Chains A and B, each alone.
Chain A
């Protein structure tokens, strides 16, 4: 069974641009969560989607948004990029409606903002 996949793996953008990251969960998984990892702040929760609905949201500005499609694939968008948005963005999937179920992470997208 294929794992969680994320595309692209690497991105370089400039300040003010916007970016869209994609996550495909493990087949059959319906919950998708997004996390930001930086050296200074560690891993921080962005949001979680289940059955196309945002079920939970972290403490990030409105420039960070996401959505989930009917096939459970999810996208995350960051508008008006800032230098501080440079990070590894990780996506995790879980199989069932229980929000406390085991999480399986993808390889991440490394975003660099210049």
Chain B
């Protein structure tokens, strides 16, 4: 069964720290992987898309990496800010033309 796992479910860090969010998936034959953030009661905001041929993607203070052989992706957030507090979701295209989502990591940045 193709699954996406995100651990931990919740994370709290002081403002200014760098942090890493983890995502693991069960099948290395993926097409793309996409990271999203979701604020409470809101929709999903796309952060980064990594294609299967890429190893990483960067946008501002965010850097996402992809290691298909180990079934892992990480989202690195530099110099965290209170506005980064949200739930971060990892989603994978396994080749069945639909996104399979992890359950998310709820991130709290402590001022």
Give residues in A with beta carbon < 8 Å to B: 4, 6, 33, 35, 42-45, 48, 55-56, 58, 88, 90, 92, 99-108, 110
If over half of A's interface residues share one DSSP class (helix, strand or loop), that class is named, otherwise mixed; here it is strand
- Total cross-chain contacts (CB, 8 A): 56
CB-CB under 8 A from A105, the residues of chain B are 36, 43-46
Give residues in B with beta carbon < 8 Å to A: 31-32, 34, 36, 41-46, 49, 89, 91, 93, 96-104
- Interface contact A106-B32, CB-CB below 8 Å: no
User: Taking CB as reference atom, which chain A residue is nearest B42?
Assistant: A107
Cβ distance A38 to chain B, nearest Cβ, rounded Å: 11
CB-CB under 8 A from A90, the residues of chain B are 43-44
Cβ distance B33 to chain A, nearest Cβ, rounded Å: 10
CB-CB under 8 A from B36, the residues of chain A are 105
- Interface contact A107-B43, CB-CB below 8 Å: yes
- Interface contact B103-A45, CB-CB below 8 Å: no
Q: A35-B99, A42-B101, A102-B49 are in contact. List 8 more A-B contacts (CB 8 A).
A: A42-B103, A45-B100, A55-B97, A88-B41, A92-B44, A103-B99, A108-B43, A110-B41
- Interface contact A43-B101, CB-CB below 8 Å: yes
- Interface contact B96-A56, CB-CB below 8 Å: yes
Q: Which of B41, B98, B104 contacts A45 (CB 8 A)?
A: B98
Cβ distance A68 to chain B, nearest Cβ, rounded Å: 15
- Interface contact B43-A100, CB-CB below 8 Å: no
Given the known interface contacts A48-B97, A106-B43, the answer about A100 and B31 at a Cβ–Cβ threshold of 8 Å is yes
